[in-house]
Amino acid sequence: MIKQAVILAAGLGSRLGELTKNMPKGFLQIDGVAIVENSIKKLISVGVEEIIIGTGYKAEFYENLANKYNCIKTVYNKDYEKTSSMVTLNVCKQFINNDFLLLESDLIYDKIGLFVLINDERSNVILSSGKTYSGDEVYLSVNNNFELVSVSKDKTKIQNPFAELVGISKITKNTLNEMCNFYEKFADIKIDYENVLEQISRQNLADIFVRKIEYYAWSEIDNETMLQTAINEIYPRIKENESLLNVRREILLNPGPATTTDSVKYAQVIADICPREREFGDLVKWCTDELTNFVADNNKYTCIMFACSGTGVDEAMISSCVNTNANQKLLVIDNGAYGARLANIAKNFNMNFDVIKSSSYEALDINVLENAFKTGKYNALAIVYHETTTGLLNPLEIICPLAKKYGLITIVDAISAYAGMPMDLEKLQIDFMSATSNKHIGAMAGIGFVIAKKSALETIKNYQRKNYYFDLYEQYKYFVDNNYQLRFTPPVQSFYALRQAILETKIETIQKRFERMQKCHQILLSALENLALECLVKKENQSGFITAILPPKSNKYSFENLHEVAKNNGFTIYPGKLGNIDTFRIANMGDIKPSEMQKFTLILEKYINSLN
Ligand code: PLP
Ligand code: MG
Ligand code: MG
C-alpha cells in the first residue's frame, strides 16, 4: 500500500513567461482548478495519506494549499533558483518513510496511471507513454527486462527510444536512499531526479523498471503551447477517460447505509491479502486509532471492532459492560426504536434492567432521569445519542455527566451521530460508545465498533461472559496481544473502504461535514415550509441528520408513489411509522451535497403540487 506521495514543485516555470510571473506553474488552472490541486485530489482518491510538496518558487501558494488539505506537508528548498529537481527531492527525503509516488507539479494525467503503478508488482516503476510530440520529450530506453538504461531529451543519444517519461514514478525508500547517496557523492546541483534514476539503474544499485502505457492521456506544461494543447486536447481526453469509470450515482436519503464516494467504492478493489498478514493488522490498527482520534484521546480511549451491523455491536456493548452476576442493574432510555432495541438486547441476555420510556418526538425530561439515577439502584445507563427513528437528538452533554455524578457507567449508541457531528467523549463523560462503518463515516456496511474508555474497559475484564463472538473484552485483548489481528475473519475489502472513508473524513474534517449536513437540512426545512409540510420533531430537538415529515393531508398521497418518483430521479427515501403516526423520512448522511438536496426538494415540490 502506497501511503505517501512527493510532488516536486520548486521550479520557476520560466518558460511560461507572464503566466508564471506571479505564481508557480502548478497553479495554472484548467477547468477552474489548479493543475496541482487536481493532482492532489487524484492522489487522495487512490488512498495516499500524506502528500509532501517540495516547494521553492512562490512557496506561499503551496503553503496556502496545505491549509486547505491537511494531508499536505510542504518542505522548502531554499536554493530553488540555482538547483534542480534532485535537490528538492533530497530536501523532502527526511519525511519519506516508505514506498512513495513521485510526481512533477506541472502534470495533468489520467488517474488510471496511479492505479497502474500502485498495482504493478515491481517496486520501482517509472510511468511512461508512447509518442506525445510535445516538443520537450524525455526519452527512455530499456533493456530486455524493461529496466531503465538511459534517459535523455537528446534523441541522438537514444536511437530507438522505448517510451517517453511522464513524470510519475513509484519508488522505494531504499531506492530513494541510493538516489540521495549518489547525488551527494556526485554533488551536481543541476542534476534532475530522472538522471539520478538512470545512474542508479545502470550501476545496479536498484532495479528500476519502465512501465509503458502506449496511449496514455497526459501532458506536462512547460510553455504556453503545451498549455493550449493540454486545455484543448489532452484535458478533454482525461476527463472522458475518467468519467467512463464513474459508478452510477444513487443518492440514499435513507438513514444509512449512506451514499459513498466512488473512491471509497474503488478502494475495495485491491490485491487479495490474508488478514493474518502484518500489513492487514497495521491497516486495522490505523483504522482503530483514527476512528478514536475523531472523538477522543488515543491514550485514554480505544476502539474495538467486530464484523457486524450496528445491532451486533450494540449487543457486544450492552452484554459485555454490565455485570449481572454481581447484581448490577442497567437503566435503558427508550425514546425510539433504537432505544427499545437496547432494552430488547438486555432482555434477551436476561439482564437486570429497567426502562424509562419517553416520547420519540419530544425532548426527554431530565428530571425524570435524574430521579432515577438518584435512587442508587443503577450501575449503568444505556442511551441512544441520536434516535434515528425520528431525528431526535438526546442532550448527552447534560445526561451523561449527570449519570456519572451518580456513579453510573455510560453506554451510548452513537451509531447515527458518530462522525456527523463533533463530539468529545471525555467531555461528554461517555465510557462506551458504539458506531458503524456505514453511516456518517461513509464506508461500506459490515464493521461495527465500540470506542471505549480504557479504564472502563479494564473494569469489565472479569465480568461474567455472556457470549462468545460478541465479547468486547476478549475482542480487545486478542487484538492487542496478536499484532492487531481480529479474532475472527474480518470483511477484508470493507476495511480498505473504511480506510479510504477515514482519509476523506480527515480531509473534510468532522466540523465541516457537520456544516454540510446542516446546510442540507436547512434546504429541506425551507422547502417543507414552502409546501406547508410539518416535521414530527420540534426544530430545536432535531439532529439535522434525519427529518421525519408528516405526510400531506391529501388522500391522493401515497408513500409508494413518492418513493417511486424520487427513485426514478436517483433518490431513495424511507418510510417511518411511529405507532399510528405515519411519516416519511429524509436523511442527510454520507456523500450528499447541498445542491443534491436542492434537487430533491424540487422533486418533492413537484410531487406535492401534483396532489392538488
Ligand atoms: N442504532 C441506531 C441509532 C441506528 O440508527 C441503527 C440503524 O439505523 C442501529 C442501531 C442498528 O443498526 P443495524 O441496522 O446496522 O443493525
Ligand atoms: Mg519538460
Ligand atoms: Mg515539466
The answer to whether the CB of 255 is under 6 A from ligand 1 is yes
pLDDT of residue 270 exceeding 90, the answer is: yes
pLDDT confidence band for 437 (50 / 70 / 90): very high
- Give CA 28 to chain center in angstroms: 28
pLDDT confidence band for 234 (50 / 70 / 90): very high
Say if CB 37 and CB 16 are below 8 A apart: no
- pLDDT at res. 324: 79
Residues 339 and 282: their CA atoms lie apart, in Å, by 35
| Among the listed residues 100, 319, 116, the one whose alpha carbon sits nearest the alpha carbon of residue 214 | 116
- pLDDT at res. 444: 98
The answer to whether the CB of 414 is under 6 A from ligand 1 is no
The answer to whether the CB of 413 is under 6 A from ligand 1 is yes
- pLDDT at res. 323: 93
pLDDT of residue 289 exceeding 90, the answer is: yes
Task: Compute CA distances 292 → 10, 145, 287, 435, whole Å.
Answer: 37, 47, 8, 11
Taking CA atoms only, the protein residue closest to ligand 1 atom 14 is 310
**Strands 409-413, 392-393: pairing kind:** unpaired
| Per-residue model confidence as pLDDT tens digits over 45-80 | 999 999 999 999 999 999 999 999 999 999 999 999
Residues with CB under 5 A from ligand 2 (ion): 136, 222
Ligand 1 pocket test: pick from 253, 311, 545, 585 the residue with the most ligand atoms within 8 Å of its Cβ.
311
Average pLDDT of the residues of the chain: 96
Exposure of 192 in the CB half-sphere (CA atoms within 13 A): 15
Taking CA atoms only, the protein residue closest to ligand 1 atom 13 is 310
pLDDT confidence band for 342 (50 / 70 / 90): very high
For residue 288, give every residue at least 6 positions away whose Cβ sits within 8 Å of its Cβ, in sequence order, or none.
302, 303, 304, 305, 449, 479, 484
Q: Which long-range contacts (CB under 8 A, 24 or more apart) does 39-43 make?
A: 39/7, 39/103, 39/105, 39/107, 39/108, 39/109, 40/7, 40/65, 40/69, 40/72, 42/109, 42/111, 42/114, 43/5, 43/101, 43/103, 43/114
Taking CA atoms only, the protein residue closest to ligand 1 atom 2 is 415
The answer to whether the CB of 436 is under 6 A from ligand 1 is yes
Ligand 1 pocket test: pick from 416, 433, 450, 574 the residue with the most ligand atoms within 8 Å of its Cβ.
416
* 252 beta partners: 572
- pLDDT at res. 580: 83
Name the helix (H) or strand (E) containing 306. Answer: strand 301-307
For residue 238, give every residue at least 6 positions away whose Cβ sits within 8 Å of its Cβ, in sequence order, or none.
108, 109, 110, 217, 218
Ligand 1 pocket test: pick from 436, 470, 574 the residue with the most ligand atoms within 8 Å of its Cβ.
436
Per-residue 3-state assignment (H helix, E strand, C coil) for 416-443: CCCCCCCCCHHHHCCCEEEEECCCCCCC
Residues 97 and 174: their CA atoms lie apart, in Å, by 10
- pLDDT at res. 325: 75
pLDDT of residue 22 exceeding 90, the answer is: yes
Q: Which atom of ligand 1 is nearest to the CA of 314?
A: 10
- pLDDT at res. 187: 81
**222 CA to middle of ligand 3, Å?**
5
Question: What is the mean pLDDT of the segment spanning 29-58?
Answer: 98
Closest ligand to residue 20's CA: 3
- Give CA 483 to chain center in angstroms: 24
C-alpha cell at 498: 473504511
**Strands 148-152, 251-252: pairing kind:** unpaired
| Per-residue model confidence as pLDDT tens digits over 456-488 | 999 999 999 999 999 999 999 999 999 999 999
Using DSSP, state whether 283 is helix, strand or coil: helix
Please report, rounded to a whole number, the percentage of residues in the chain having pLDDT higher than 90. Answer: 96
| Among the listed residues 20, 522, 383, 485, the one whose alpha carbon sits nearest the alpha carbon of residue 224 | 20
**149 CA to middle of ligand 3, Å?**
21
Closest ligand to residue 318's CA: 1
DSSP conformation class of 310 = H
